[in-house]
Structure 1
Amino acid sequence: MVSSSKSKLLKTEPLEHKDARWAALRTWESSERLTRPQGSDIDGVGVVAILQDPSKPDETPRVLLQKQWRPPVNATVIEVPAGLIDPKESPETCAIRELKEETGYVGEVIEGGFGVSPVMFNDPGFCNTNLRMIHLTVDLSKPANQNPQPELEENEFIETFSVPLKDLWVECRKFEKEGYAIDARVGTLAEGVELAKRWKIV
């Protein structure tokens, strides 16, 4: 597996509006994503994948994370699996597909109304980009999850790992000290877990 730590920024240069592929800039200094499929209310999904083994019910659940170098922040970012939605694809199907492609794991959407989040806007003060967070469980006892093999695109360099869900806040602080950038989805998830622990609401 190629290490994201070997990635580096080679060059930056201004981009003419006519040459933009991913975003269209407006005069009021906001941006608009151009990849949202017609008829879809979201651009993509983020995936909260919880690793569990039913044969080991006392083990602490672990959350699946990734290290991926991102040119806009010139840093390796700690992220959850994520991706853009295809035309006529449901958020659930998109999440299962992206998880399999990026990590090799096969997940199942959590039932009971918690599987799919409301539409969330990543940075509404600047951009219309949005997503739904999809919550999945990964059954480690299934044969498909014994030796997961990602199906990465040629330009993707992703390292997959997991940490105990209850320790996510502490792990994020450690990663920041080590020079990693923390994706807001990971940071917000970590903050929510820590708030629940500190205020004993679960």
Structure 2
Amino acid sequence: MEQYHNVKIEKIETLYKANWLQLNKISFTDSKNKIRSWESVDRTTKKGDTDGVDIIAIVNKDSQRHLICVLQFRAPIGKLSLEFPAGLVDGDESAEVSANRELLEETGYTSKSVCHVSPTPMSLEPGLSSANTRYVIINVKEELLQPQQHLEENELIEVLLIPLDSNIADRLNKIAIERNCQISSQLYAFALGLSFQTIFS
């Protein structure tokens, strides 16, 4: 395993930079002392060590726990995406502050308590990008009849409450078919984790 410790980044060259993203060419020396290169798409907005937050928000409805999800159009995939509420860290704010702000903006729900914050950033697609996230688990205050979103002018987000049980993966698959949407890998991995015992029983 020590061979992987000898990899060294030599140079990062920006090939193209836009408002939110940039294309970089990374030159590095591998464990066999060979110079290699890799292309990476990275965010231009990162101020600290974390790009954004993904929010696992739980709310009680009809005496049952529900997971708060959002459905919104994502241009890169050309269709609706079913996701955790999420967003970029703003300036030097903490992951917890970012999560509370994004939850209110995207869903209208507010935090009752924060149960967990990832102690370190988690990679999203490390073969493509340095983009990362921290997961924040939030217990939401009592269910509101009509939560008021605080969306930006260019945002259109639908909020879905999905029963939080061992059938959640099946529920997500049903929504994906009915709404012709794509499920984010983070959300589906979470659902499979909850369904693990059912799948292998």
Structure 2 distance, partners of 1:76, 1:102, is: 15
Structure 2 distance, partners of 1:186, 1:81, is: 10
- The corresponding residue for 1:79 is 83
Please tell me the residue identity of whatever aligns with 2:172. C
- The corresponding residue for 1:4 is none
Q: Does 1:175 align with 2:178?
A: no
Please tell me the residue identity of whatever aligns with 1:33. R
Q: Relative contact order (alpha carbons < 8 A, sep ≥ 6): 1 or 2 greater?
A: 1
8 Å Cα contact 1:92/1:109 also seen in 2: no
Greater per-residue strand proportion: 2
Shift of 1:130: 0.2
Q: Does 1:185 align with 2:186?
A: yes
Shift of 1:103: 0.9
Q: Structure 1: give runs of 5+ residues left out of the alignment.
A: 1-16
Partner of residue 23 from structure 1, selected from 21, 24, 30 = 21
- The corresponding residue for 1:69 is 73
Partner of residue 42 from structure 2, selected from 24, 32, 51 = 32
Structure 1 distance, partners of 2:141, 2:109, is: 9
Please tell me the residue identity of whatever aligns with 1:194. S
Shift of 1:146: 4.5
Structure 2 distance, partners of 1:171, 1:29, is: 37
- In the TM superposition, 1:42-61 aligns within 5 A as 42-52=50-60, 59-61=63-65
**TM-score scaled by structure 2?**
0.79
Shift of 1:177: 2.3
- In the TM superposition, 1:94-113 aligns within 5 A as 94-111=98-115
8 Å Cα contact 2:103/2:110 also seen in 1: yes
- The corresponding residue for 2:160 is 161
Structure 1 distance, partners of 2:128, 2:87, is: 20
Q: Percentage identity across aligned positions?
A: 34
**TM-score scaled by structure 1?**
0.78
Structure 2 distance, partners of 1:52, 1:26, is: 44
* Counterpart secondary structure, 2:50: coil
Partner of residue 123 from structure 1, selected from 106, 111, 125 = 125
Q: List structure 1 runs of 4+ shifted beyond 2 angstroms.
A: 26-29, 108-111, 175-178, 196-200
Structure 2 distance, partners of 1:24, 1:161, is: 33
Structure 2 distance, partners of 1:149, 1:124, is: 35
Please tell me the residue identity of whatever aligns with 1:79. E
Deviations 1:133-162 (A, max 9, x none): 100011216xxx453100000000000110
**Count of residues in Structure 1 that have an aligned counterpart in Structure 2:** 173
Shift of 1:84: 0.4
Q: Structure 2: give runs of 5+ residues left out of the alignment.
A: 1-14, 26-37
Change (3 A) 1:193 1:26: same
